[in-house]
Amino acid sequence: MNHGPRTTELPTGFQVQIDPRCVRGGSLRHLVGGSPLRVMKLSDPALGMTSDDGRIAVHDTGTQILARRLLDAGIAHPRPMSGPDVDDVTVVIPVRGNQSGIDRLLAALGPSTTIVVDDGSDEPITVPGDVRLIRFDENRGPAAARNAGTAAATTEFVAFLDSDTVPAAGWLTMLLGHFADPTVAIVAPRIVGLGRVCAVEAESSAVAEYANRFSSLDMGPREALIAPGSPIAYVPSAAMIVRRSGFLGFDESLRVAEDVDLCWRTHGAGWRIRYDPIASVGHDHRETLRAMLNRRRFYGTGAAELAHRHGDLAAPVVTTVPLAVVVAGLMTRNRWGAAVAAIVLSIVYRRTSGLLDAVPRGRRIAAQNTARAAGFGLLQGCAAVLRHYWPLSLIACVCSRRFRRWFAAVAASEAAGMWVRNQLVDPEAPVMSPVHYAVYRRLDDLAYGTGLWQGALRRRSLRALRPVVSR
């Protein structure tokens, strides 16, 4: 049984950087940021340990405690100076019937300690002589394949790569430094379209363009501490590195969402998980519309299994009563609803500004965070109507012409807003036609929502559909 990390002490020389999105005020003394949002005030000694650009270098007990506290609050991110060597890593590749993908991936990896696990391919996978091959007589699933590869490894670190991926040069070196923190059990790169990592034949299909640009495997361009309920709640097992002493093993009974389950169990055991987009791994998303939607539906079925194991952590909507009232008011699209939303938002603003009285520019920060909360609530409301509970929306559309008009307006405005947001958050990514994006986003929602309901019915439990509303 894994009992969590033996120590939480950061090594001498380890550095952390305060997140540039974190608000610093009061001669850089006050910090507002993290997830969930919090306010921290640095003492005089702590302020003296922090450079003007927000760096803290660990060299004694005080700097170690401060750096750890900021890391765990999500207010700072690691900037380790060194880490394990690539020779301390074994690459484990689960595969079923993808010989061309294996050939491409092994060529990209070059000399490395590699284990390929053939998960019951109809035509047995072949590999070069310097690559170890484990073969299953029958298909047991990617979780079992990764576990078998990890059990056969002798190094302290294991990197999982799916057979349809290609890592960018130097990806391991970029990520291994995170393991200088003894509490880190999992580190993951950003997963992007294959064309952003290596030269591939141009793909003109709008479906492939959408799948590459808006893959559910892509966690975005911002580094993060991973935890349930945070902006990035898990990292996909298509590309991740694990510390074997902190590896709890994939649940082999799961054929979907096994990576989410692993991340949440790892977090629950006291380990940390980091996501760092400085390193990237390309994923071959080329597929037909039918295949893409079936994949999204399949992902949706995993929510019921997660709800069975992790309860409310898998809730489709997590909100508060005030935020729910605000969203309901705004989504009525009439002046009475807007008035109610404005009143509740003003109350939320006053409460928030009261907490920030001692913070310079506290009222401005409170206004910004209130607006962000309202925007996040609106996104959740749209997701509920368009994605998680679309079968109920369909019934309402059949019964009410007014609801049909309202639903169409929500579907169009949400797609437009998200298209703009995606360009602002990741300006270096390829730009997709807003019309194509809107169409495929709505189909994506329908597919995932279908899987969500299928999984709930198969489990004979509506727990995966139950929202969590707190006071």
Q: Kindly report, residue by residue over 35-54, the tens digit of the pLDDT.
A: 778 888 888 899 899 988 89
Q: What is the length of the chain?
A: 471
Compute the average pLDDT of residues 421-435: 88
Compute the average pLDDT of residues 8-32: 85
Q: Count Cα atoms within 13 angstroms, Cβ side, for 48.
A: 4
CATH 3.90.550.10 fits 86-287, yes or no: yes
Tens digits of per-residue pLDDT, 226-283?
999 999 999 999 999 999 999 999 999 999 999 999 999 999 999 999 999 999 999 9
Residue 119 has pLDDT above 90, yes or no: yes
First to last CA, the chain: 37
Distance CA 299, CA 296 (A): 5
DSSP conformational letter for 168: P
**Residue 2: pLDDT band by 50, 70, 90 thresholds?**
low
135: which strand partners?
A: 118
C-alpha gyration radius of the chain? 23
Residue 401 has pLDDT above 70, yes or no: yes
Q: Provide the mean pLDDT of the chain.
A: 93
Dihedral of CA 147/152/158/161: which sign?
Answer: negative
Per-residue model confidence (pLDDT) at position 342: 94
Task: State the span(s) of the chain assigned CATH 3.90.550.10.
Answer: 86-287
Per-residue model confidence (pLDDT) at position 37: 80
Q: Could you tell me which residues come within 8 angstroms of residue 214 by beta carbon, excluding any fewer than 6 positions away?
A: 422, 432, 437, 440, 441, 444
Per-residue model confidence (pLDDT) at position 27: 64
Q: What are phi and psi of 84, to 5 degrees?
A: -60, 160
Tens digits of per-residue pLDDT, 368-377?
889 988 999 9
Burial of 397 (0-12, 13-18, 19+ CB in 10 A): middle
Residue 431 has pLDDT above 70, yes or no: yes
Distance CA 448, CA 453 (A): 9
Distance CA 116, CA 134 (A): 6
Compute the average pLDDT of residues 55-66: 95
0.75 surpassed by pTM = yes
Sheet with 76-78: strands ordered across = 55-57, 15-18, 76-78
Per-residue model confidence (pLDDT) at position 24: 74
Tens digits of per-residue pLDDT, 126-154?
999 999 999 999 999 999 999 999 999 99
Per-residue model confidence (pLDDT) at position 234: 98
Per-residue model confidence (pLDDT) at position 206: 87
Distance CA 333, CA 406 (A): 8
78: which strand partners?
A: 16
Residue pair 73/34 in contact by the 8 Å Cβ criterion:
yes
